[in-house]
Chain A
Amino acid sequence: MSHNMLLVFEVTILILAIFLGFEVISKVPTLLHTPLMSGTNAIHGIVLAGAMIVLASGHKGPFAWVIGFLAVVLGSANVVGGFVVTDRMLEMFKKREPAKAADATQDGKSGS
């Protein structure tokens, strides 16, 4: 594929991603806005893939190697930290009805 064809193709998916993003994100309730931020933080950790490509081209010289190394460190901190924090947050969101209101629906576990 020629460079220009590839570019047009990339711009197309970029634009589609914008609309898809707005569509999907607008369905996220305000309740989950913090996990949304943190989750999208984890997703932009995909920058790690780019950093890996740069570091792997490190044979071209020490500059690319050093920059790539730093970028991989930052990128992997982004990925691991992002997903772990989001998981910790989402783990806390429980639909545990208060005991008094829950006698009919829940398994009767104490609410407090």
Chain B
Amino acid sequence: MSTNLTNLLYLIPIVTFILALRFLSSPAHARRGNQVGAVGMLVAIVVTWVKAGGTSWWALVIAMLIGGGAGAVIARRVKMTAMPQLVALFNGVGGGAAALIALAELHDKLPAPGRPHIDVLVAIALSGLIGAVSFAGSMVAFAKLQELIGGRPITYPGQNVGNIALLAALVAFAVALSAGVQAEWLLWVIVGGSAVFGVLFVLPIGGADMPVVISLLNAFTGLAVAIGGFELQNNVLIVAGMLVGASGTLLTILMGRAMNRSIGNLLFGAFGQVSAEAAAVAAGDGGGTVRSASAEDVAVMLAYAHKVVFVPGYGLAVAQAQHDVRQLADLLEEKGVEVSYAIHPVAGRMPGHMNVLLAEANVPYPQLKEMDEANPEFSRTDVAVVVGANDVVNPDARSNQGSPIYGMPILDVDNAQTVVVLKRSMNPGFAGIENPLFYNPKTVMLFGDAKDSITKLIQDVKVA
């Protein structure tokens, strides 16, 4: 097949990918869009197959069966609560593939007579670098989310200086390779060093900042794939990769904005470091008393409310309580209570995490309210039920300049008549930040595992 014909046919996948993203503008036809994208991908694979074909077709079949089979099995079996790590995993393998392609291309091009074009060398160096960072970074993110390693920030002295020095060295190697130093080992050093950098770069980032990291790694993989398109002179890689790059970048910006932190601060700030003094400030203002309530008390409150808003956080995902929350909500609705869900953009471990969880529990999506929509509603809310959320409802973000999360837009649950906080214990949350909401006279705490608490509430609301 001629190159022109191939590129012409590649327009089909390009168009379907754009449509797939376009269809995501509404949940009503988003699924159709994804299917259209999948068909486009199939076309891309067939066209590439016919063009490349060649002697290794059986190897292609075997490799695709192994990879595709593994992908399908994992994707089918994994629970919805494990979505963030799954996204990290698939993101990583894409980056890894891009880095491998760079290695193979250089190996192929160097021995050829004449020097490879500089732009091809730049592309090889960059996609090796970015792809390997994305691969290793995604694997660490996966390990953190899967709780194979601790989710707390891992810090050590000289971390930032060391990381920046490593990155500078990698860039220097990439420049040398692009400038025509004809050494294949250079790329191996770049790829290996970038993998180390990817690990070091994600390790210090705490679990609460995962939505940003995952978005950024998503952008990296897209970029690595797009640059891979320059190595292979392949349009579909360039366009598809760059669409993903743009998407990941936009999400990263949105997540940073939702936390009111610059991207640099998120990546190099190792959340939690500054919190010691802020915690001291918070502890200084008296601590106050915490009111704890029994499930029966809360059930009565809920059953006789007019409007109840649930505020889910990562704790909901951990306790896998989304189905129980929906049951409770259904029960309340039968009693004539107006129920909705207020969702903070960075609640959970990836952008939109809570929406997916609640959708899994069959919560109709019109009940899921974004922050801007939810906040004005709290003043006419009788009971706000905070399930496993902490930082996103911390009033210190509004008022305490010493708090590490000062300035982050939050859900103003304290404007509701009563706030019920479902929490395991009084241990400070993930980031170790004190939360004055718990000491607010309007607040009652319902201690215990979120799933158990909700189950009790369901029973008690039934008899209330």
Q: Which residues of chain A have a CB within 8 Å of any CB of chain B?
A: 3, 6-7, 10, 13-14, 17-18, 20-22, 24-61, 63-65, 67-100, 111-112
Contacts and interface: CB of A to CB of B under 8 A. Distances in A.
Interface in B1-34: 13, 17-18, 20-22, 24-28, 30-31, 33-34
B247 to A, nearest CB: 5
Contacts of B454: none
Given A51-B100, A76-B68, A79-B41, A59 B55 contact: yes
A43 B93 contact: no
16 contacts: A18-B245, A30-B343, A36-B247, A38-B90, A41-B218, A43-B17, A43-B240, A53-B52, A56-B53, A63-B107, A69-B63, A76-B64, A81-B71, A85-B83, A88-B76, A89-B83
A58 B63 CA distance: 13
B230 interface: yes
Contacts of A97: 364, 366
A47 B71 contact: no
Contacts of A81: 70-72, 74-75, 86, 89-90, 93
Interface residues of B, number: 121
A64 to B, nearest CB: 5
Contact of B234 (A53, A72, A99): A53
A31 B364 CA distance: 12
- The B contact surface, by secondary structure, is helix
B73 to A, nearest CB: 9
Contacts of A78: 67, 71, 90, 93-94, 97
Instruction: Please list the 3 inter-chain residue pairs (A to B) with the smallest Cβ-Cβ separation, ordered nearest first.
Output: A21-B246, A33-B352, A81-B71
Contacts of B124: none
Interface of B: 13, 17-18, 20-22, 24-28, 30-31, 33-35, 37-38, 41, 44-45, 48-49, 51-57, 59-60, 62-64, 66-72, 74-76, 78, 80, 83, 86-87, 89-91, 93-94, 96-98, 100-101, 103-105, 107-108, 117, 119, 214-215, 218, 221-222, 225-226, 228-248, 250-251, 254, 327, 330, 333-334, 336, 339, 343, 345, 350-353, 355-356, 359-360, 362, 364-368, 370
B113 to A, nearest CB: 15
A75 to B, nearest CB: 4
